[in-house]
Chain A
C-alpha cells in the first residue's frame, strides 16, 4: 500500500530501499547520512520485513566491496555515505564499473576538502560525474531536490543500474538528507527469489549451472587489444545512457530572459529566487538537471539560443559550470554563484548575484 509520511531525506532513502525489494545494505556511519543505517537497523528488515540484509561494515572501503560482492551475485545492493567516506569508495566504484555490476550508492555531501565540515555542500560534483576512481568509467548520477525524490530515486537508481549493468549514484547533500518533508512511499515489493535472480542476471555468480560455463566477474584483462575492445564497449554503453537517460526539470523557462541552473538543494533556493526576481519584473527561470550524468547539455544549448544569460548556482567553487559552459559554447554570458564550507546562501543572495554579475553591466 502507498503511504504518506513525514520523513527526513535520509530516512526516506532507507524506507524506499526496503520497499523496493533491496537485498542488502552495507554502510558505515558518517554525518550527515548516518540516519540511513540507523533507520535500517531500527527497522530490522532482515527479521521483521523483507529479509533484506543490513550490515555495519568496518569501513567505507569494506562497504563498497561488500556491495561489489553482493552485486556480483546478482542481488540488489546499496550503500550510502558522505563525502570523505565516498572518497574511500572510489577504488570500489571503479572496480564495480569495470566489472559492469549494478548497484546503488548514495553520497549525502558535506563540505571539504579533507574532513571539512559536516554542513551541506555540493563540492563532490566533479568526483561524481567525471570519474573519481581510476580509468575511463561513468556512473549514472541522480540529484534529488526533495525528500520525495530521495525516496523515488532509490527505485529509479537501482532500475537504471540493472538496465545498464552500471553503478548508479544518488548525489544528495546535507540539506536534502536532513530536512523533513511529506513523502509518498511506494508499495512494498517482494524481493526476488534466487531463481528469479539467476534468470534476471545470467552473468551473475549464482553457482555454476548445467546450461552454462562458470561465470566470472572481473575487471582484469591483461591483453591490451581485448582491454581496449572492452573499453570501447563501455564507451558505447555510456553513449547509450547519454541518449536515453537525460532527465531535467524546467521551471518558468518559457518566458525567461535569464536562467538559473542548479541541482539538489541549490535548485530549491533558486525556486524562491525566481519568485523574488519576478516580483521585481526580472524574468528568471530555472533549469534543474536531475541527472548530472548524463548531463542535459542539449536543453541548455537550446535555451542559450534565446536567453540573455545563465547563473549557475552551486554549493561549491564552480564545478557544474564547466558542463554548462560546454553546452552554452560562449553564446551568452555564464556566471557562477556559490557558497562553500557548508554555508547555504539565501535566495536574496542569489538575486543579488544575478544583478551584479549579469544584469549589473547593462
Chain B
C-alpha cells in the first residue's frame, strides 16, 4: 500500500475518497483500542468540518475518559468539573449566541453527578448539542457502576452484578429528557459498525443543523463500549453490547422536530 502513496499519479485530488478531518489534531489518542470515544470524536470532528464551523464552535468536555477531548478536537474547548458541562455550555451559548456549543459527557457524568445540570439545561431548551456517551460504566476511574449499568452487569463496585433491589435501576436518561419541553431532538445511536457510524454522524449533523436554526436542546446518546471496563476484547465488547445493551437501550430517534416519535 505504501508504494501507492509514493506514486504521484495516484495522489490526485480526484482520487481522494477519504482523509482525516482537519478538526482532529495530530495528538495520539489515549483511549483504549476498541473504545467508542475515538470514533465518536472523529465523526463529531467531521461534522464540524463539513459544516464549516470549526472557528465558530466551542466545546465542553467534563471529567471522564474524554476529559482530554480538547487535545484531539481542534476547536476552542473547556474542561468542566464532573457533571457540570451543561451549566458551562448554558452560559457560553447565552453569551455567545452565534457560536455552536456542544458538551461531550459520559454516563456517570451526565446521568449521576450531573443529572441536575442536564435536566435543567434540557428543560430550559438551551440551544446546545449534548453528546452523551453511554458505556454503562465509569471508565476513567477503573470500571465502577454507573447509573446506566445494566441489571446483573458486573463492575468494580458491583462485583457480583448489579442487584436492582439494593443498587436501584439503570437510568434511561435519554427517554427522560425526551419528555422535557425544552428538547428538540433526542436520539440514541451507536458506533460499533460502519453503518451505525454513518447513522450517528447523520444524527450529529442534524443536531448541529438544529442549533444553527436556533432550535432547542439536542441530545444525542451514543451507546458505546468500554471494553477495558467491561474486561472484554473489543470484538467481544461489541457483541456483548449488541446482545445486552441494545435490547435495553433501544437505538433510534426518540424525539424529532420537538415531537416524540417513539
Residues of A at the B interface (CB closer than 8 Å) are: 23-24, 26, 53, 55, 57-59, 61-63, 65-70, 72-73, 75, 77, 91-92, 95, 99, 194, 205-210, 213-220
Contacts and interface: CB of A to CB of B under 8 A. Distances in A.
Contact of A214 (B60, B77, B79, B81): B77
Closest 8 CB pairs of A and B: A69-B88, A65-B87, A69-B91, A218-B79, A70-B91, A66-B91, A65-B84, A205-B76
Interface residues of B, number: 33
A59 B60 CA distance: 20
A207 B56 contact: yes
Contacts of B99: 207
B89 interface: yes
B58 A220 contact: no
Nearest to A210: B55
Interface string B58-96: 101000000110100111111111001001111110111
A194 B67 CA distance: 27
Contacts of B77: 205, 214-217
Contacts of A91: 81
Contact of B76 (A58, A70, A206): A206
Given A62-B117, A207-B76, A68 B88 contact: yes
A53 B95 contact: yes
A73 B92 contact: yes
Contacts of A207: 55-58, 76, 99
A26 B91 contact: yes
A273 B54 CA distance: 63
A72 B92 contact: yes
B84 A61 contact: yes
B120 interface: yes
A65 B117 contact: yes
B55 A209 contact: yes
Given A91-B81, A99-B79, A207-B58, 9 more contacts: A55-B90, A65-B117, A68-B87, A69-B91, A73-B91, A77-B95, A208-B55, A215-B76, A216-B70
Given A62-B120, A66-B87, A214 B95 contact: no
A96 B78 CA distance: 11
B96 A73 contact: yes
* Residue of A63, A65, A217 contacting most chain B CB atoms (<10 Å): A65
B161 interface: no
A230 to B, nearest CB: 14
A215 B89 CA distance: 16
B91 A92 contact: no
Nearest to B68: A220
B38 interface: no
A61 B70 contact: no
B116 interface: yes
A220 B67 contact: yes
Contacts of A73: 58, 91-92, 95-96
Contacts of B94: 24, 53, 55, 70
B116 A61 contact: yes
A67 B117 contact: no
Contact of A72 (B67, B78, B116): B78
A69 B96 CA distance: 11
B122 to A, nearest CB: 11
B76 A23 contact: no
Contacts of B84: 61-62, 65, 68, 92
Contacts of A210: 55
A219 B79 contact: yes
A120 B58 CA distance: 41
B78 A205 contact: yes
B36 to A, nearest CB: 22
B78 A62 contact: no
Contacts of A216: 70, 76-79
15 contacts: A53-B94, A61-B84, A63-B87, A65-B80, A66-B87, A68-B87, A92-B81, A92-B84, A95-B80, A214-B73, A214-B74, A216-B70, A216-B78, A218-B78, A218-B79
A58 B96 contact: no
B95 A58 contact: no
A67 B90 CA distance: 10
A210 B56 CA distance: 12
